[in-house]
Chains A and B, each alone.
Chain A
Amino acid sequence: MNSVAFIVIAIFTLAAGLAAATLQKLMHAALSFAVTFVGIAAFFFLLGAEFVGLVQVFVYIGAVAVLIVFTILLTRRDVEKDRGFNWSGAFIAIAVFGGLIWAILKTQSLSVAAPEIPALTVKRIGEVLMTNYVWPLQCVGLLLTAALVGALILVMEEKQ
């Protein structure tokens, strides 16, 4: 059951990713990219990491995808133009893929059976975030607040 689901989701995600890389219109590519995010969220659900999957949908589709789409809309005039083939992009993609394959094959833990872990509830994640990882959490909060204030200052009208 799980392996069938895995294969279906993997094909779906890869197809969406491929579409994002190859589609002619930039806007179609951006929307396919959003579909890829859905696929990745589905993987998290399959692994039982419900919280991470939901946050994936929340952040990447609700915020990042909308941001990408808006950036394209507001900055490019040639949205309809043919993008051509980007050789350097292909090279970087193959290099990253090779690096990842090498790292995965080098990893020892592939043959080790996963230990039994207790069901990961939202409550436990919250507790751990507020105790063990409270400093990283606060730092991220500070960073995001700084980004928010920075964005406000950028768009503020200059006084005459």
Chain B
Amino acid sequence: MSASLDQIFVSGKQWLLSWLAGAPEWVIQIASSFINIFALLGVFLTLFALMSVLERKILGRIQNRYGPNRVGPFGLFQPIADGIKMLIKEDIVPARADKIVHFLAPVLIAATAILALGIIPYGRNMTPFNIDGGILFFFAVGSTTELAVFMAGWGSNNKFSMLGAMRAIAQMISYELPLIITVLPVVMVVGSLMPNTIVAAQGGYALGFVPRWFVFTPWGATAFILFFVSGLVESNRTPFDVPEGESEIVAGHMTEYSGFKYATFFMAEYIGMFAITGLATTLFLGGWHAPIRMLEFIPSYVWFFAKLSTLLLVYVWLRGTLPRTRVDQIMNFAWKFMLPMAFTCIVAAAVWHYAGRGPAGWLWSLAVIAAVYFTLSILLDTRRKFAPRTYRFAE
């Protein structure tokens, strides 16, 4: 019973494809791809709609107010109202804007965001596009986003747009480095770039009850935190939302966009967030594996989406808690702290592997990470005393 429930979507797809039995091979291949694409878009656009209303609800709770509660029960139909509003808004293109680039930027940014979703294993046998270099594909597609952001900023011909794009690209390039380097220990330990293999390597239990997720090893926990913070920056979320800091540069690279194009940017940001948290789940949190043996009867995709939603909840929680950081603080943090720690994770993973992947390896890799962490904290300590602020130009 639980096995068939686990595979219900896979067998559903098989059933749909059985209608095409006897058709040429390439027809079946194309049909199979289309089913995957529609399933992905259906699930994640629904999740986007849900997330947009839940985020406002949770933020409202944090700020001691109600949040949206007018449309439908508990305000749950708010996304539909928002969608209609966005669709019927006037589409304004500035007279001096570069029309083609201005139009193509949201298209490119949404396309790349959705492509990245394709390689994540959502459940047992549920990877839409199972390619050999899946992890590499994710980052290759993700690196295209920078060009799209630049196109939006430059195409709008507006100084706020350009400033926002510059800020976005600067922080995205800086944090892409720790983001990718923190993935390396996992790839090293598993010996594969294929997401399915990485999830399979995290199955089973150490000592009989601790799941073999990488987040339960010292190097994995460090890499997970670094990955999570870099993911926050890559998706331009608070506290790293300087590219669109509304109180400084209107809305950054999205300043000159209105109506549905703005909605596309908004959607791409959320889809990018789902992709990065999905990858974090796959790499460090055991993908679709259950945390306790007793709970393995619950279908694998439920576990995946439970972990995904937990990470998304942390995103919203951070947004409701932390103020915006300064640009120079973000950069200093990336190059002076994140990058050395990311390299340490590689060393710690190697130590863990050669010490036998057991309790001894666990302690040794913890020692490596602790040593580097404390050295860094001594080196980076500026010994600045806190005093009343002095102004250089605004006395």
Contacts and interface: CB of A to CB of B under 8 A. Distances in A.
A132 to B, nearest CB: 19
Interface residues of A, number: 23
Given A1-B26, A66-B150, A58 B140 contact: yes
Interface string A86-98: 0000000000000
B133 A62 contact: no
A28 B366 CA distance: 51
A51 interface: yes
Interface of A, helix, strand, loop or mixed by DSSP:
helix
Given A28-B100, A69-B147, A50 B140 contact: no
A9 interface: no
A54 B133 contact: yes
Contacts of A51: 132-133, 136
B127 to A, nearest CB: 16
Contact of B144 (A1, A50, A62, A123): A62
B358 interface: no
Contact of A57 (B132, B140, B154, B169): B140
B98 A62 contact: no
A112 interface: no
Nearest to A121: B132
Contacts of B140: 54-55, 57-58, 61-62
B26 A58 contact: no
Contacts of B132: 50-51, 121-122
Nearest to B194: A122
B191 A66 contact: no
Contact of A62 (B26, B143, B154, B192): B143
Interface string B156-185: 000000000000010001001000000000
Interface in B191-206: 191-193
A123 B191 contact: yes
Given A61-B147, A69-B147, A31 B137 contact: no
A58 B143 contact: yes
Q: B100, B150, B173: which has the most chain A beta carbons within 10 Å?
A: B150
A27 interface: yes
Q: A25, A62, A63: which has the most chain B beta carbons within 10 Å?
A: A62
Contacts of B98: 25, 27-28
Nearest to A56: B140
Interface in A1-58: 1, 25, 27-28, 31, 34, 50-51, 54-55, 57-58
B25 to A, nearest CB: 10
A73 interface: yes
B343 to A, nearest CB: 12
Interface string B82-121: 0000000000000000101100000000000000000000
Interface of A: 1, 25, 27-28, 31, 34, 50-51, 54-55, 57-58, 61-63, 65-66, 69-70, 73, 121-123
22 contacts: A1-B26, A25-B98, A27-B154, A31-B101, A31-B151, A50-B131, A50-B133, A54-B136, A54-B137, A55-B136, A57-B141, A57-B143, A62-B146, A62-B176, A66-B147, A66-B150, A66-B169, A69-B150, A70-B150, A70-B169, A121-B132, A123-B192
Given A62-B147, A122-B193, 16 more contacts: A50-B131, A55-B140, A58-B136, A58-B139, A61-B140, A61-B143, A61-B144, A61-B147, A62-B144, A62-B146, A69-B150, A69-B154, A70-B169, A122-B133, A122-B192, A123-B192
